[in-house]
Amino acid sequence: MRVLVIRAHPLDSSKSRSMAMADVFLEELLSSHPDASVDDVRLYETAVPEIDLDMMTGWERLADGEHFSHLTGPQQNKLALFDQYTKQFQAADLVVIANPLWNLSVPTRLKAWIDTISRAGVTFRYTEDGAAEGLVKGKTVVHLQASGGHFDQQDPACLYIRGMFSFLGCEVHTVAAEGMDHEPDRAEQILQEAHDRVRELARGL
């Protein structure tokens, strides 16, 4: 099993609830799959290219037939890194995404990473009648999210992750630790219950 872990928080598990959930999941998964290979990507400790002018003009030049070596240095670097993230995602059997809910959305670094793996003609395509079809088959995505309020996994971030990866063709499982700021006296209990659900999910994969 090839596992890709995407951590979308600048803090580590000692201070981030979502990162602690990721650690619990990995520990349980590796106890039953000791031979699994893990790529642990910390988005706030690495470059994640955003779709900007360099990338758009670089793609345009390539589409016009220019050789990659003729692109500018920034264009080459960003496009190469963009492709690297796409291939890393394609190679994984299991993708684990851990993030906080920030302002009813995912962290911007996570959105930028998702752009690198949502690619027409690569991970989805348009059919002859113009409908979109996911091309990622047989891949499981586990979404781990922590939030201060209660949303019953219906917040925009959960819906976005579930919708995007289902669209690509993945099987999506979500575990959300919710309400820890709304009920601070129960925060530890809420997180522990989420850890239990995370362990149960990991054992079933």
**pLDDT string in tens for the chain (205-residue length):** 999 999 999 999 999 999 999 999 999 999 999 999 999 999 999 999 999 999 999 999 999 999 999 999 999 999 999 999 999 999 999 999 999 999 999 999 999 999 999 999 999 999 999 999 999 999 999 999 999 999 999 999 999 999 999 999 999 999 999 999 999 999 999 999 999 999 999 999 9
On whether the CB atoms of residues 13 and 23 are closer than 8 A, the answer is: yes
Q: What is the pTM of this model?
A: 0.96
Residue ranges for the binding site?
16-18
Grouping H, G, I as helix, E, B as strand and the rest as coil, residue 7 is strand
Task: Compute the distance between CA of residue 20 and CA of residue 25 in angstroms, rounded to an integer.
Answer: 9
Residue ranges for the binding site for FMN?
16-18
Nearest to 147, CA basis, from 108, 77, 194: 194
Task: Compute the distance between CA of residue 17 and CA of residue 101 in angstroms, rounded to an integer.
Answer: 11
